[in-house]
Structure 1
Amino acid sequence: MIIEFATTSFKSMISFGAENLEEFTCFVGLNGAGKSSILQFLDFTSHLFRGDINKWLTDRRWDASDLHSKIASQSNVSLGVRIKTRSGRDLAWTASFNRTSMICTWEDIEDMASGELLFSLAKGRYSMPLSDVAKFEAKVSFNYQGSILSALKDDVLTPELLEIKSELSSIRSLELLSPHLMRLSHRDTALDIGVGGEKLSPFLYAIKGEARQKLVDLLKKFYPAVVDFKVKQERAGWKKLSLIEEYDGKRVEVDAKHINDGVLRILAILAQSASGNSLLLFDEIENGVNPEVVEKLVDVLRTCGQQVIVTTHSPMILNYLPDDVAKQSVRFVYRSFDGGTRTVPLFEIPKMAEKLRVMGPGEAFVDTSLSLLAEECAANDKAAAKEGDA
């Protein structure tokens, strides 16, 4: 599980850090504060470990210059992610990404408890300990994109390095979900539904047996009339999605092009949340979803067994969180005095903590001017910076 991440010079995140993350995290804030940039940064990190940064940029219709902060002088993107492994180890990966060469020119992986350096890349050489007294070291003699770990074969990596590589490469972003894309037939096999949901049909096609039945049962809790889904493999391997609805004992098949946007979105979210990836990213989770199913959706995401990060503008999302969960999971995103995106736990801000004593999380959110709250947080940052310089 990712428990902390930080970056400098990624888009508006000129000096950003988020600590003590839980299994469910909800970012809130004004438009333009940088909530989407946070999700993009985590997705960027994942693709560093998949070694396909050029394709990632192309898919988003970006180029390398779009990664760089327009308000920072540093050219390289510095980044770090800290994870808690399944065995309980606390590991931190830090790196510097060069936008010209499209590689991490420097990387370290450290055991935070012992201080042991588990992997290092610097000045064109990489190394890792093999035992207490032996170390493997070699010159980089091959081409790669992103992290060098994306190009190293699994059989040469230690279990700790394999786990951090797997954890970070398994992040899945669903920030660009589009009903139009979800309706498309698709020919290839799919390990996920795609950033826009374009691979939903082949992803559902691959779900079989008990996992498929669980997904159908879960979908029926949201939309009782939907009793099944069907993915038909057509000529040349194209896969076409339809839903089976039942009314008064009569079943009808509904082609994907006629399925309601909200139903498609819920189906996509439920399917991906049951897939077992390490971290799921959702932007404006409430978009296109009827208010009456929002509570069920929040419950599913909180209990799906995966780490989930969402952004929202909706106080309803917060209202469906218990107070203790809201205190830990809801984070306010704002632009600080220097223009950079920053975040702070919303209900650790004194005035918000006081409101939470007498209001629900959503009520406290609605009762607050986010513009004034952002100004207050920025002023506190500026005062702290001046004190640090003194």
Structure 2
Amino acid sequence: MKITIVAGARPNFMKIAPLIRQIKNRQEQRSDIHFRLVHTGQHYDAALSDVFFEQLHIPKPDVNFNVGSGSQAEQTAAILIAFEKELIENPCDLVLVVGDVTSTMSCAITAKKMGVKVAHVEAGIRSGDWTMPEEINRKVTDCLTDLHFTTSVSASENLLREGVNPQQIHFVGNVMIDSLLHSKPNFKAPDWFAEANLESGKYILLTLHRPSNVDNGDQLVHTLRTIEQIASERVVLFPIHPRTKHVLGSKINEFKRIYFTSPQPYLEFMWLVQNSSCVITDSGGLSEETTVLGIKCFTLRNSTERPETIEIGTNTLVGTDLNVLSKAYTSFLKNGLGTHGIPELWDGRAAERILEIILRENA
């Protein structure tokens, strides 16, 4: 059996790593399974891409399209063209896509138009927010998918409501948690951490990347000033994307309690998460990781595609009203983390279940 695995952006890398590890285990057991790794190059900066491959022990891609930056339409078109050529030159039995980035949707479309089966890892999650490109990517991909691998019962229920054949839906758990648990013993502090006079457990980790939060300079400055005030005496650690740093411009020097650093490699970033007092973010994936690590998370969005991180985990959805964030943070300081748990099947074995199903379905 030949599988083409697609990755394009940073969130994908944590999801393909355990899948590749399981395929290699099967190969050692002499299973007739082969994979080809396609990197679309949607994230093209080595600091945001190559180091993740190294730390997660992902092999060098068989091909990199290097599509780079551009509008949603430009990236989609470039990937469609490149992936069609890839499948013509390297036929396969199954295209496996993960997550909800542009590469996921584009390669799913190409594969189905060429009569190749599609497996979607992290299928069925929904935010209900159509202003998010990721929501469109999810819906389109799931309309084309043959094997839906879901992270939660609610994701499976979403697919059932949308009319997906129950036999095509497989609740397997969360592959990103596979990577988290596998890599946890190797988490390490960044080299600069001690030099910055930061202390474990005494800083707030902040991540912002969604256009609605970072593209408007005045709004971004207001958000950061408010978070700085909310944090009071605590340092706010902000690994900032170069594009967001450019939006801030010279105003980056106005913040006294925010420590700006470059985007971090996976092992260093997860160490920062694990050793923070709490996390403020607009990332969905990070709310999953904080749930498993038992770290309080405040999500600056009006909706989430990962409701289990709120219902079971450590996440609080505070929306875009920073007064709500202030009240939620004050409550956390007063009352602590509260009761929390880890969602079903987030046990580090999701990739193992996925591969068993793939091999069974294609026997």
Structure with the bigger RCO (C-alpha within 8 Å, sep 6+) is: 1
Point out the structure with the larger strand share. Answer: 1
Larger radius of gyration: 1
TM-score (normalised: structure 2): 0.30
